[in-house]
Amino acid sequence: MGIFEKFRKQAEQAVDKHGEQIGKGIDKAAALADSKTKGRHTGQIGKGQAAVKGALDKLDRKNDDIRDEPPARPAP
């Protein structure tokens, strides 16, 4: 097993075990970025958020680890 395959397997295990926590962290980071930009880039942040979640969810070739939630909205 090459070093890349070893890393991929470790990443798959981490996403399987902690997918919900990772998803919450992504949501929190997106919300922070959106609040710092005062909502000017909500669309771009939402697209990035969805892309990251999709990539992590498909890491093990299954769509079962990270739940999709609506894009971040700025805090009032």
DSSP states of 35-54 as a string? Answer: HHTTTTTHHHHHHHHHHHHH
Mean pLDDT by 10 residues, the chain (76 residues): 88 85 92 94 94 83 62 54
Question: Burial of 31 by CB count in 10 Å (0-12 exposed, 13-18 middle, 19+ buried)?
Answer: middle
70 belongs to a structural domain? no
Domain that holds residue 11: 3-60
54 belongs to a structural domain? yes
72 belongs to a structural domain? no
Q: How many domains does the chain have?
A: 1
State the pLDDT at residue 18.
85
Structure pTM? 0.72
